[in-house]
Structure 1
Amino acid sequence: MTLPAFTAHGTGTPLVLLHAFPLAARMWQAQTESLADVALVITPDQRGFGGSAPAEGAPLLELVADDIATVLDELGIERAVIGGLSMGGYVAMAFARRHAERVAGLLLADTKAVVDGDAARANRERIAAAVLARNSVRILAEEKIEDGLLGPAVDPELADRVRAMIAEASPQAVAWAQRAMAARPDSLPTLATLAVPAAVVVGEHDALTPLAEARVMAETLPDAELTVIPGVGHLSSLEAPESFNAVVRALLRRC
């Protein structure tokens, strides 16, 4: 198994932060800088994104979860707080399915535990096929911003940064990840048995994984706190880093 590219910065409770689709680990820069006094912040690039090797194997998020376990092994860490936003949340839940004994706490941000409906799966396959056929992710960058990735009052400079990160993704990684997300199972049964401190975060204007989905996860987890961050959309950690980091600090204290 190839070790993913990752950074580990700070001291304290091990905290893994898993990035959104189709970005990379550097989306967590504000968290890495702010939380280094209370956590060892570990930010891996998932398969095919950032500095990690191209995605290989069947498109399954469980393989990405196993990659994260390999990172923890490399660092000599037995248990960690596992967190993710959007696709990163899906991977965090996959990690909990496969490596529950290594989860010291759980952070789920702007994500959902239930499977995609037929229309959502069809759309993922449409995008996967399109980026491969064109050998370009330009269509994804254009669609994602307008489809509610960011909130209604987003800083234009942040929007440009997000577009730049999307543009750096490879078509192969985008297609693999889309198909892996489409194949993911229902994670609610896993969450119901996860008796660790958990935090569920959602942006007020998140249209992709809205408040209703966050409530379901928070109500299913045995020990979860739900936070709605006002004024932001799907990428809450980028749009409101101070509010997001406050939630993470509170979770780390509970862990």
Structure 2
Amino acid sequence: MPPIDVRGHSLMYDDGGDGEVVLCIHGFPFNRSMWDEARLALASRYRVLSPDLRGFGESSGSESWTLDDQANDLIELLDQLGIDRVAVLGLSMGGYIALNLARRYPERLWAMVLIDTKATSDNYDAKQNRLKTAETALREGAAPIAAQMLPKLLSPANADDQRLIERLNSMMLTTNPKTIASAAHAMASRPDSTPYLSTMALPSMVIVGNDDQITTPNDAHAMVAALPHASLVTIPDAGHMSVLEQPEIAYGAIRVFLEQAQQG
């Protein structure tokens, strides 16, 4: 698809399939290609929309922004495409943005899938680590960030999967260092979504890899306990990238959930 000008930035996106719209929001520091399997798994029944967030992939706008800005961009994208309501899928940082949408634009969502993410804000140590990430990216580029993150992303069961490792590295290494810094600052300053979970009455599913050491199964359980209409799916032999590590299991669960959410 050709890019769309959204709030002064050029946003690239993939758009395919027919039916109710599923909006896929990628994680940090990745891009829309992490949703390639989503299009294969879901496009026979749904219209799958997967943008590169501002500054990521082929979208412009690496300068300073907040998660509110990213959420507003997505609403503007939906408006320009004439899309009223979506089911939102968000992984990690994409989950933070999905929660932002559910809090600020609940009328635009008909279902929500939170993948390898959490509702709580960063504690002091986590915020300091984010700021160090930003400084390192601006000083040394994306390579040290990728090297630091990669060992934490995958389950031990997938630690030697060279195809997956190369795919993750390719996405991380091609991310603009200024975007990495902007994202780190944005995530460090994000609010705690926990107090708002009880107000999010839409059908929700939380997916977590059983070996996720970044956003843990405990984080997932806490969200499910607070959301009014939520189910939990734990993916075996998966870490922080469960939809890439075990796509058949993850997307099988997502398909069933979306069908049930449509039926009300």
Question: Partner of 2:87: helix, strand, or coil?
Answer: strand
Letter in 2 for 1:141: A
**Match among 44, 56, 71 for residue 49 of structure 1:** 56
Q: Cα deviation per residue 1:36-95 (whole Å; 9 max; x = unaligned)?
A: 0111111011111011112345x3101100111011112211111111000100111111
Question: Partner of 1:17: helix, strand, or coil?
Answer: strand
The residue aligned with 1:247 is: 253
Alignment of 1:110-149 (within 5 A): 110-134=116-140, 136-146=141-151, 148-149=152-153
**Match among 217, 220, 227 for residue 226 of structure 2:** 220
Between the two proteins, the alignment pairs up a number of residues equal to: 252
Contact 1:54 1:172 in 2 (8 A): no
Measured in 2, the distance between the counterparts of 1:189 and 1:251 equals 25
Q: Cα deviation per residue 1:173-231 (whole Å; 9 max; x = unaligned)?
A: 00000100001101122221111110100001000000000001111111001000001
Alignment of 1:17-36 (within 5 A): 17-36=24-43
Alignment of 1:1-255 (within 5 A): 1=7, 2-57=9-64, 59-134=65-140, 136-146=141-151, 148-154=152-158, 155-255=161-261
Measured in 1, the distance between the counterparts of 2:78 and 2:219 equals 29
Letter in 2 for 1:165: M
Letter in 2 for 1:34: A
User: How many angstroms does 1:3 deviate by?
Assistant: 4.9
Measured in 1, the distance between the counterparts of 2:166 and 2:14 equals 24
Measured in 1, the distance between the counterparts of 2:24 and 2:254 equals 11
Question: Partner of 1:153: helix, strand, or coil?
Answer: helix
Question: Partner of 2:156: helix, strand, or coil?
Answer: coil
Contact 2:62 2:176 in 1 (8 A): no
Letter in 2 for 1:30: E
Q: Cα deviation per residue 1:4-31 (whole Å; 9 max; x = unaligned)?
A: 2111111111100100100000100011
Measured in 2, the distance between the counterparts of 1:197 and 1:96 equals 11
Measured in 2, the distance between the counterparts of 1:164 and 1:218 equals 33
Measured in 1, the distance between the counterparts of 2:153 and 2:61 equals 25
Measured in 2, the distance between the counterparts of 1:189 and 1:52 equals 32
Measured in 2, the distance between the counterparts of 1:232 and 1:172 equals 30
User: How many angstroms does 1:156 deviate by?
Assistant: 1.7
Identify the structure with bigger relative contact order (alpha carbons < 8 Å, sequence gap 6+). Answer: 1
Letter in 1 for 2:229: D
Contact 2:209 2:239 in 1 (8 A): yes
Identity %: 38
Unaligned runs of 5+ in 2: 1-6
Relative to structure 1, is the Cα distance of residues 35 and 48 closer, same or farther in structure 2, using a 3 angstrom cutoff? Answer: same
Measured in 2, the distance between the counterparts of 1:153 and 1:100 equals 37
User: How many angstroms does 1:153 deviate by?
Assistant: 1.7
Measured in 1, the distance between the counterparts of 2:170 and 2:78 equals 29
Contact 1:13 1:252 in 2 (8 A): no
Unaligned runs of 5+ in 1: none
Letter in 1 for 2:183: A
Contact 1:96 1:190 in 2 (8 A): no
Measured in 1, the distance between the counterparts of 2:86 and 2:163 equals 33
Q: Could you tell me the TM-score, scaled by structure 2's length? A: 0.93
